[in-house]
Structure 1
Amino acid sequence: MALISMAQSSADHPTDPSKYLWTVLSVTTLGAFMAGLDTRIVVVGLDAVAGALHADIEQALWFTQAYMLGSTLMLLLVGRLADLYGRVRLYLAGFAVFTVGSLLSGLSPNPLLLIASRFVQGLGGGILNTVSAAIVTDAAAYGPLAFALSVNSLAFRLGSILGLTLGGLIIGLFDWRLIFWINVPVGVAAVIWGRRTLREIYKPREQKSMDWLGFALFTVFTFSILLALTFEGYGLSYRKIANAMYALSMASLAGFTLWELRQSHPLLDLRLFKVWSFTGGVVAQFLNAVAFGSVMLLLTLYFEVAKSMSPSETGLLLMPFELSFLAFSLISGKLSDKYGYVGFAILGLFVGSLALLVLSSISLSTPYWQVALGSALLGAGNGLFMSPNTSAIMSSVPEERRGVASALRNVLFNLGMTLSLNISVLLLSSRLSYDLITKLLLGAELDEAQLAAGRSSLALALGEAFRVLALVNLSAAVFSVSRVRGKRVLNFKTPEYGGLTCPGS
């Protein structure tokens, strides 16, 4: 492929690092914007797509799950390839794959082809998310790293906000296929712009050796654990399949760990976990993803099902979270470059936990200003946490491990998001019967007493879910606090595994 084999203009650091950083951001923010837009625009249009293709409920769920699988399965391989061969060509290839997947999704004539196309799109999106963090870290290694990463977060959130309204507008005025095809011209423009402007400033140092057995074992682990979590959400009839997938995932993870410890050129260098700034960071991010992953779904259920709001009204009512995230992400990105990453990550987790506790008190009679306050606090907490935490993770590892570090960060984030949805579904079903939840969701006819009782019970169950998620988020804060005095950078040039340098965190 010409895109993969194109020559890069320079392997040296640019003469003006600050200017080049903005050049990098001009490309990576397009990828982040597309990812944010695609995430929300597909959710908004899911019922229309399912209806047009005559898909059943399980197929409709796989329209989103296929994207998640595609964006997770190949991440560690992508990260390793980025460390061995460079970042830029791989990143642009990811843009091309995402664009092709978007085109094929819009052309899909039936549910199965759409699921396959969404997998391809997810693969491209996974490459973009993984390699972009490494590219930005390379370009901002001696500059405003957290601020640069917060710009990408800002682009993702802007895409998300636009997706809340644009999806309904496109489906209402045109055709559902356009929610996928809207990515195509942006993707083509980004690939052309990236080929003209990006340069490879990272010089691979390692022997070009790929650990294929390690990749196979890790792929079995991620595939089986994601399937297990997916089937867990389908109810008791899928419990045996879920348990079998859990057993397979644990066995493959154990085999992967034992194999990697014996390799001189492993897929995942397990010595990274000796760097507590890295380990504490990825664990904190995983727990934060578990706490945050289902929040938008829970708030949507509160407004649309418990309070009988329309989708357009719900989109507007969720704006306090989005706007607060935008503002505090930029603030934390700018200030944490000056005052340190970990402190802002800790502050963000405590603010987010407070927000979830505020939301845990909701009921049908709760005034909107209280829900808006909780949403805004949650946006502020996540905005304060994400960019500094990512910066702490990426700056704690040597540059020859940034691709793999970013890949593992994304794998754990995706697993946390998936687990969050399952936890919330289980918490809701423990208070409401499955039959009642289904009737409320589908708008089935209920008498006035049943409807009022069902909505009230749903609101209380949502409050309990927020309370549990707040405790999970507080546990993430514990891991962040533990990094304050942690080791920062691992020295891989020593022959033994124990060579650590301690410039601080």
Structure 2
Amino acid sequence: MTTTASAPAAVTSGVRGGPWATLVAIAFGVIMVALDGTIVAVANPAIGADLQTSLAELQWVTHGYLLGLAVFLITAGKLGDRFGYRRMYMVGIIGFVVVSVAIALSSGVVALVAFRIAQGVFGAIISPAAMGLLRAAFPPHRLSQAFGVFGGMLGAASAGGPIIGGMLVSSFGWQSVFYINVPVGVVAVLLGVWLLAPNRAADPGSRFDLVGVGLLSVAMFALVWALVEAPVVGWTAPVTLGSAAVALAVGTLFVLWERRVVDPLLPLGIFRSASVSIGVVLMILVALGLIGSLFFITFYLQGVHGYSPLVAGMVTLPMSITMAIGSPLGGRIIDRVGTRVPVAVGLLAAALALFGLSLLRPDSGVAFMGIWFVLLGGGLSVVMTGATAAIIGNAPVRYAGVASGVQQSAMQLGGSLGTAALGAVLSAAIVSSLPRHFAAAGLPEIGAEEATAMASVVSQGGAAVPEGAAPDVAAAITQASHLAFMDGMHLAFGIASVVMVAAALLSLLMKPAPRGGEAVVHI
């Protein structure tokens, strides 16, 4: 059948509830969630030293947040549709702040990781609710502009996390990266009370699909777990294959269940829109290119160049600035000329930037890197805006929360896939080329097993220099290791560049969202 839903009527008084007032109101909450995804990376060494954690435990400080966020996003989107975006947004903000304080007060890693998972859950509540508020407040012909500003805030906050985190940790300790959420959260709550229109549910009559929630949560958890563990234990390890099998099996059951339930958690009919489906794929690829590239660039700048985390963050600042400017500008362009051409051009720009990054050398200067960072940030910011508009703008308003959850989930999965898959490419290239670089440096010959054992250190931009090695030997090993790392990074960026070109061709199949006020979906 064909369903058409109109936006819930917003009750406004003066500025309150207006489109730009809504955007201002959600800004601090959105920035807070995005910042916590990257700011903690800088604090991890200090957390590990203070709480005396192992490397595996320390990794879960990051992985726990990612799991909580990815697993709950679509369910949180449905909660927003069902109970109102304003109400869920405020619940998310307050919960996020309270859990942040609990994390800062944690005296053990187990409690800290548990609270990080809870923080991810509350972050998952905030993002779809914020998107739903935008979808309901802005007219269709200005949605891309709103999503552009939204995407600019996300990109700038994510990329700026390492810089802000470096300053906070060096001045006030690791707890400060969580305490900073208190004043930001208070401002977010006050702005929400003042500027957001009274709460109105977009889909108040639907029943809650508890079976769907359970199946989707298990499938998403297993999928993210497989992507997180694969780089550590290997792609063919039992835990990786087992998690992937569970994700596939339970995901299939979820789809079958959603096809028969009266009020599904995720109405599969929204994917009959080619623009929605293509937008999801493009969002995965955008995250793959952005987060995957930042992952490698961090190791390149800190390991090969020897920069501190703060300096490395400053070197990537041109990309942050370009994303902050490019997203709203891209939104304006998309509102005027449509989605396909700007998104295709953005993807081609990103492909060229990734190709340029594949040409980096161990001694490349900041200016040369900056050219490609600017091009990458500008290209991907337009794509992110266009893909977001395609997904949410082509879904009925009453499903705006769910559609936003799908968009955010795609971005999280793309980031995990980028670091896992491209990381595997990097490691394989290092194992292959390390013996050759050792031989060229006049070092003793090493076999595949030795290269494999050294790959973990080399893939992070380091060098496995034996204790007590002579200075000239240590220098030769370091140079050979850095050259092997560069081989792997070049291949990973080359593959990512080809993927972006393919995505540009795919983007030409997208259609603009309906401009009459509502999307029409056949369910």
TM-score by length of 2: 0.87
Q: Which amino acid aligns with 1:276?
A: A
Tell me the alpha carbon deviations over residues 408-456 of structure 1, each in whole angstroms, 9 at most, x when there is no partner: 1111211111111111221121022343244444665352211111111
Tell me the alpha carbon deviations over residues 93-150 of structure 1, each in whole angstroms, 9 at most, x when there is no partner: 0111111121111011111111011111111111111111111111112552222222
On the 8 A contact 2:85/2:133 being kept in 1, the answer is yes
Q: Does 1:54 align with 2:83?
A: no
Corresponding residue for 2:406? 408
Corresponding residue for 1:324? 322
Tell me the alpha carbon deviations over residues 325-374 of structure 1, each in whole angstroms, 9 at most, x when there is no partner: 22212211222222223322222111111111111122224444332211
Corresponding residue for 1:382? 380
On the 8 A contact 2:286/2:383 being kept in 1, the answer is no
Instruction: State the distance in 1 between where 2:346 and 2:380 align.
Output: 6
Matches within 5 A, 1:136-285: 136-142=134-140, 144-160=142-158, 162-200=160-198, 202-205=200-203, 207-236=205-234, 239-285=237-283
Corresponding residue for 1:445? 465
1:35 maps to which of 25, 28, 33? 33
Instruction: State the distance in 1 between where 2:341 and 2:220 align.
Output: 32
> For the structure 1 residues 202 and 17, does the alpha-carbon distance in structure 2 shift closer, same or farther, using more than 3 Å as the test?
farther
Q: Which amino acid aligns with 2:400?
A: R
On the 8 A contact 1:34/1:183 being kept in 2, the answer is yes
Instruction: State the distance in 2 between where 1:384 and 1:237 align.
Output: 33
1:264 Cα offset (Å): 1.6
Instruction: State the distance in 2 between where 1:25 and 1:395 align.
Output: 16
> For the structure 1 residues 348 and 254, does the alpha-carbon distance in structure 2 shift closer, same or farther, using more than 3 Å as the test?
same
1:394 Cα offset (Å): 1.3
On the 8 A contact 1:228/1:245 being kept in 2, the answer is yes
Matches within 5 A, 1:128-139: 128-139=126-137
Aligned with 1:144: secondary structure? helix
On the 8 A contact 2:160/2:320 being kept in 1, the answer is no
Matches within 5 A, 1:118-129: 118-129=116-127
> For the structure 1 residues 443 and 361, does the alpha-carbon distance in structure 2 shift closer, same or farther, using more than 3 Å as the test?
closer
Tell me the alpha carbon deviations over residues 222-280 of structure 1, each in whole angstroms, 9 at most, x when there is no partner: 01011111111113398111111111110001111111111121111111111111111
Q: Which amino acid aligns with 1:449?
A: A
On the 8 A contact 1:28/1:152 being kept in 2, the answer is no
On the 8 A contact 2:224/2:413 being kept in 1, the answer is yes
Instruction: State the distance in 2 between where 1:332 and 1:408 align.
Output: 22
On the 8 A contact 1:14/1:201 being kept in 2, the answer is no
1:91 Cα offset (Å): 0.8
Instruction: State the distance in 2 between where 1:277 and 1:16 align.
Output: 35
1:284 Cα offset (Å): 1.3
On the 8 A contact 1:75/1:407 being kept in 2, the answer is yes
Corresponding residue for 2:352? 354
Instruction: State the distance in 1 between where 2:35 and 2:229 align.
Output: 27
- Percent of aligned positions with the same letter in both sequences? 27
Aligned with 1:45: secondary structure? helix
Corresponding residue for 2:498? 471
Aligned residues: 485
Q: Which has the higher contact order (CA 8 A, sep 6+)?
A: 2
> For the structure 1 residues 375 and 348, does the alpha-carbon distance in structure 2 shift closer, same or farther, using more than 3 Å as the test?
same
Corresponding residue for 1:480? 507
1:175 Cα offset (Å): 1.9
TM-score by length of 1: 0.90
On the 8 A contact 1:287/1:475 being kept in 2, the answer is no
On the 8 A contact 2:39/2:162 being kept in 1, the answer is yes
Q: Which amino acid aligns with 2:108?
A: N
Instruction: State the distance in 2 between where 1:413 and 1:187 align.
Output: 24
1:296 Cα offset (Å): 0.7
RMSD: 2.3
Tell me the alpha carbon deviations over residues 126-179 of structure 1, each in whole angstroms, 9 at most, x when there is no partner: 111111111111111255222222222333344345533332222222221111
Structure 1 unmatched ranges of 5 or more:
1-9, 498-505
Instruction: State the distance in 1 between where 2:198 and 2:275 align.
Output: 27
Instruction: State the distance in 2 between where 1:37 and 1:256 align.
Output: 32
